[in-house]
Amino acid sequence: MRAVLLLAVGIVIMSACTGGREGNRSPTTQRQRDSAIGASQLPGAQGVGRALRASDSASSRRALEDSIAGER
């Protein structure tokens, strides 16, 4: 009985020491997560992909308009 108790305590202590692994991953941006979803076969992923393309198109249009406005 004592061996089982010691084993259980050991497992609890060891599992408590392994909790710091999340800090090692590099954080992903919202754009990267949306892009991964858009490229997947999940339901609704096509809509996410289309929304990203529309956003890219609008951003590029705004950049073009800003560059034209800056030339005046």
Q: What is the pLDDT of residues 32-64, one digit of tens each?
A: 999 999 999 999 999 999 999 999 999 999 999
Burial 4-25 (b: 16+ CB within 10 A, else e): eeeeeeeeeeeeeeeeeeeeee
Residue 50: the pLDDT is 94
Query: Is the CA virtual torsion 10, 15, 18, 19 positive or negative?
Result: negative
Q: Where are the domains of the chain?
A: 47-72
Q: Which of 40, 64, 70, 67 is nearest to 52 (CA)?
A: 40
